[in-house]
Structure 1
């Protein structure tokens, strides 16, 4: 299983999201932080980055006007 698939699973579990939505959440976080998807995925899976931080950042981005 790829590191991205693992991170999607972690985010789905932590946020109660359907697995198909987690990739968009992960991608949005990476774009907002100008980071590589695999780097952030690895940090989520290893616990170096709390899933809540990724999920809250996505919620904040979605609540901005024009989103």
Structure 2
């Protein structure tokens, strides 16, 4: 955990504050390993949110039609 608070604007129009930051967490998506820093937010209906900067770093392609 961090001693610094981080404010995050959510896509739902609100702001969440957290101190729960975990450095260098390994996430596996199919055959890819992503190294990310994670913040724990008190929101529901989302398992994980990856930003566009992180996704573009790994050349992610999202096919929303096929889900």
TM-score, with structure 1 as normaliser: 0.27
Higher helix share: 1
Structure with higher Rg: it is: 2
Higher strand share: 2
